[in-house]
Chain A
């Protein structure tokens, strides 16, 4: 499933903060959950959908370096302005939801499996 296809299936509980240019071609691999950036840096699989509550600029940095497909900021956690700006600059897909991490991951997993 591509990122665009996933996004078309998301309901109103999800808000798209930024969309990447290659969303049409980006085939999703799996869901990944982690809030410690050093763990995410080493373990976030390429083309993943990463679910976290860390919405700072370094989250975008880790996404960029690990080639994740999209990051979902769960629990209505804040995405700071610098992070949002960086996501646009670095072409990183960012989605936001009020759902807890587990429910978010489960929802995405069910959609992409």
Chain B
């Protein structure tokens, strides 16, 4: 089994943010992927999806599913992350006030993504974009 799914994430469209994660969750459940792995993927991908909407004018998410693992690649052409180490700290956030008013911007996005995945890698370049690769073992 090796399945790939691709999602376009719209920029600043909060009414649709999370739709890709909800869809992949539904698909994984149908494929009988264990509940805990589905939950991890849903949480990590949702956080990534929200980050893409808040910080990077959207982007593309590719999800690959095989027998042993689920790999998510979230690629955007946003501003890049100047200090990845800082961005990984719980509570550090650069989200604007209008985003905080929606209940986001607590500085938990990247830490949650790391916590709920077995592997996570961030490639980022200022002014070019960011690609986050995350893997959840089944």
Interface SS of A by simple majority:
helix
State which of A38, A59, A90 has its C-beta within 8 Å of the C-beta of B22: A90
B42 close to A35 (CB less than 8 A): no
B95-113: which residues lie under 8 A (CB-CB) from chain A? 102-104, 106, 108-109, 112
Interface SS of B by simple majority:
helix
Output the least CB separation between B66 and chain A (Å).
Answer: 22
A57 within 8 A of B: yes
In the assembled complex, which residues on chain A have CB atoms less than 8 Å from the CB atom of B17? 58, 61
**Can you name 5 extra interface pairs (CB under 8 A) apart from A38-B109, A42-B116, A65-B42?**
A41-B112, A56-B102, A57-B15, A58-B18, A58-B103
- 21 residue pairs bridging A and B, Cβ less than 8 Å apart: A36-B104, A36-B108, A37-B103, A38-B104, A40-B103, A41-B47, A42-B108, A42-B112, A54-B102, A56-B14, A57-B14, A57-B15, A58-B14, A58-B18, A58-B50, A59-B103, A61-B22, A62-B46, A64-B25, A65-B21, A65-B46
Interface, chain B (partner A; CB < 8 A): 14-15, 17-19, 21-22, 25, 39, 42-43, 46-47, 50, 102-104, 106, 108-109, 112, 115-116
